[in-house]
């Protein structure tokens, strides 16, 4: 029997990998995409199927997590076996700028989906995955963080996700729904949004190496994160819905590095030696050596990273380190891609794009490189 899945946030990083994964497993996949004034399906264009073909396995529906009737209608039409709620305003810093919108989408959006499933009488059929987050731990109460570690959210994003965490547990307990939280630590990939820190670094340094941008402006580079690869993490999202009983799981690598360390790795992938000097808002990173042909625009002595306090957050999550023992023991999960391999993959992809831009620029066909930051 073909299973049917509905993914909110299918146009995002995780949604795109999960859709690929489920299609490879033979699922019929439905996704909710938002109406936008420009194309927003770049991450899934390669798996797009012409709806005029007979039996397309991937179908997209216009919708929004803020729209109850729309969500209810889509769930009624699709009758999904599994719902993956990945849609969210997912940027922590932006949530301080748009706290109310973030609460509507990231908190009440989850309630809307759960309530639609229940209202339609699908609570015994439809399994539900909630994209919970290590940001719930915020001001950490225990190191490493596991399923039993108390939460202490530190942003409007994390507070909204806290509501979603508990409403998922509540629907499981109150209505016997198969509903789980994946408490995922940071996970990245070449498809990561450009304003999250890893992608900002790999894309920014690739552009600087090719002479397309002068300098990377960063926030708190002392911040410590447990970074994994999105491909490894979507496999877990699926596994969580295939068990006999619904449970919540921490997904992490169990290794922690600083943002500064990630900058050094990305620079090394480009053949750039870096030295950090100064402290606080005066810290800079200076090129000490350039090897190979990946960074023709740089020479020793160039300053390629500075601190810009506009990227500091009103309340920071300084340190996150997950303990994925439960997922490993109960679900047999092991991450396959190391953070260093992931960084290399991200740099390689961003360098390809930067080289294309540089080549066009050389021939007078200058394409604007977006300097939007985050």
Smallest distance, ligand NDP to C-beta of residue 88, A: 3
Based on the shown chain and the rule CB under 6 A, indicate whether residue 13 belongs to the binding site for ligand NDP: yes
Handedness of CA 138, 141, 145, 147 (dihedral sign): negative
* 198 flagged as catalytic: no
* Residue from 4, 8, 90, 181 in contact with ligand GDR (CB under 6 A): 90
The residue among 283, 286, 287, 285 whose CA lies nearest residue 308 is 283
Tally Cβ neighbours within 10 Å of residue 1: 5
User: Of 13 and 256, which has the nearer Cβ to ligand NDP?
Assistant: 13
Q: Would you tell me the crossing angle of helices 109-119 and 156-175 to the nearest 10 degrees?
A: 20
287-326 positions binding ligand GDR, by CB under 6 A: 311, 313, 316-317
Strand ranges, E, within the chain: 4-8, 28-33, 58-62, 82-85, 127-133, 179-184, 187-188, 216-218, 224-225, 228-229, 249-251, 257-258, 272-277, 284-290, 303-307
- Per rule CB under 6 A, count of chain residues that contact ligand GDR: 24
Residue 344 binds which of ligand GDR, ligand NDP, none (CB < 5-8 A, kind-dependent): none
36, 112 Cβ separation under 8 angstroms: no
* 233 flagged as catalytic: no
Part of the chain binding ligand NDP (CB under 6 A), chosen from 29-37, 76-84, 200-208, 302-310? 29-37
Residue 218 binds which of ligand GDR, ligand NDP, none (CB < 5-8 A, kind-dependent): ligand GDR
Put residue 121 in one of left, alpha, beta given phi > 0 → left and psi -120 to 50 → alpha: left
Residue 248 binds which of ligand NDP, ligand GDR, none (CB < 5-8 A, kind-dependent): none
Q: What are phi and psi of 129, to 5 degrees?
A: -110, 130
Residue 221 binds which of ligand NDP, ligand GDR, none (CB < 5-8 A, kind-dependent): ligand GDR
| Residue 32, beta-bridge partner list | 8, 61
Smallest distance, ligand NDP to C-beta of residue 283, A: 25
206, 270 Cβ separation under 8 angstroms: yes
Based on the shown chain and the rule CB under 6 A, indicate whether residue 181 belongs to the binding site for ligand NDP: no
Residue 86 binds which of ligand NDP, ligand GDR, none (CB < 5-8 A, kind-dependent): ligand NDP
For 314, half-sphere exposure in the C-beta direction (CA atoms, 13 angstrom radius) is 12
Catalytic residue IDs: 133, 135, 157
Chain residues that interact with ligand GDR, rule: CB under 6 A: 90, 92-93, 133-135, 185-186, 195-197, 200, 218-221, 223, 225, 259, 311, 313, 316-317, 374
């Amino acid at each position: 029997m073909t299973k049917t899945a509905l993914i909110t946030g299918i146009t995002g990083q995780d949604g795109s990998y999960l859709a690929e994964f489920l299609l490879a497993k033979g699922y019929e996949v439905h996704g909710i995409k938002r109406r936008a004034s420009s194309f927003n399906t770049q991450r899934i264009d390669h798996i797009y199927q012409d709806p005029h073909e007979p039996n397309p396995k991937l179908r997209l529906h216009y919708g929004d997590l803020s729209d109850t009737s729309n969500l209810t209608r889509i769930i009624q039409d699709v009758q999904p076996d599994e719902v993956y709620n990945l849609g969210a305003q997912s940027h922590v810093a932006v949530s301080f700028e748009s706290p109310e919108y973030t609460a509507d989408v990231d908190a009440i959006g989850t309630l809307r989906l759960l309530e639609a499933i229940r209202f339609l009488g699908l609570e015994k059929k439809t399994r539900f995955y909630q994209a919970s987050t290590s940001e719930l731990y915020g001001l950490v109460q225990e190191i490493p963080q596991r399923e039993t570690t108390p939460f202490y959210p530190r942003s409007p994003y994390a507070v909204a996700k806290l509501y979603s965490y508990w409403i998922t547990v509540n629907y499981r307990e109150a209505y016997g729904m198969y509903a789980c939280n994946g408490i995922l630590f940071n996970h990245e990939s070449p498809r990561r949004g450009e304003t999250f820190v890893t992608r900002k670094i790999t894309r920014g340094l690739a552009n600087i190496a090719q002479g397309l941008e002068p300098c990377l402006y960063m926030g708190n580079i002392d911040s410590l994160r447990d970074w994994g690869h999105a491909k490894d993490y979507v496999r877990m999202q699926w596994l969580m819905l295939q068990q006999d009983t619904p449970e919540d799981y921490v997904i992490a690598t169990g290794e922690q590095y600083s943002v500064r360390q990630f900058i050094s790795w990305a620079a090394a992938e480009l053949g750039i030696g870096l030295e950090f000097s100064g402290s606080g808002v005066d810290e800079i990173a200076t090129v000490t050596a350039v090897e190979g042909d990946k960074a023709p625009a740089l020479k020793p002595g160039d300053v390629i990273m500075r601190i810009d306090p506009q990227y500091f957050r009103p309340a920071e999550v300084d340190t996150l380190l997950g303990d994925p023992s439960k997922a490993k023991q109960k679900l047999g999960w092991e991450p396959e891609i190391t953070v260093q391999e992931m960084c290399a993959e991200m740099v390689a992809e961003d360098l390809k794009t930067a080289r294309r831009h540089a080549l066009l620029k050389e021939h007078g066909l200058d394409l604007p490189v977006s300097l939007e930051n985050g």
